[in-house]
């Protein structure tokens, strides 16, 4: 997931102004046992790293048969879910960045 974010945003180890803390919990990973049967669930929240204020929270489940991730390997649907979540997180973070640029203009 961080490989998707890192080229565009700095990954830091300490709270600071304009830093988000991302907390992720994988709550259900099911391997593929047949054609696209695998799935994965994730719960996440974005917090202001300095104050701890919750800015966003979400739960997502991706089913391998609905995501188009056909089973070639046992965990392919789970890998596909991580790709989709990474891209969605990057889009979400970009929307925060764009909002801040507009407010500062």
Q: What is the pLDDT along the chain (105 residues), one digit of tens a residue?
A: 667 777 888 888 899 988 889 899 988 888 877 665 778 898 999 899 999 999 989 899 888 655 554 545 677 777 888 888 888 888 888 886 665 555 544
Could you tell me if 76 and 33 are in contact, meaning their C-beta atoms sit under 8 angstroms apart? no
DSSP state of 63: E
Q: How much is the pLDDT for 105?
A: 46
Could you tell me if 60 and 41 are in contact, meaning their C-beta atoms sit under 8 angstroms apart? yes
pLDDT (tens digit, 9 = 90+) per residue, 34-59?
665 778 898 999 899 999 999 989 89
Rg over CA atoms, the chain: 16
Domain, as residue range, for 12? 2-104
Q: How much is the pLDDT for 47?
A: 93
Could you tell me if 24 and 42 are in contact, meaning their C-beta atoms sit under 8 angstroms apart? yes
**How many structural domains is the chain composed of?**
1
């Amino acid at each position: 997931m961080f490989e998707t974010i890192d080229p565009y945003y700095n990954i830091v180890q300490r709270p600071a102004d304009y830093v988000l803390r991302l907390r992720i919990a994988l709550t259900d990973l099911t391997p593929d046992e047949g054609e696209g049967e695998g799935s994965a669930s994730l719960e996440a929240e974005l917090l202001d790293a300095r104050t701890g204020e919750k800015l966003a929270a979400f739960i997502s489940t991706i089913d391998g048969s609905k995501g188009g991730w056909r089973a070639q390997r046992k965990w392919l649907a789970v890998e596909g879910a991580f790709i989709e979540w990474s891209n969605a997180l990057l889009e979400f973070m970009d929307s925060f960045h764009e909002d801040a640029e507009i407010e500062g203009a």
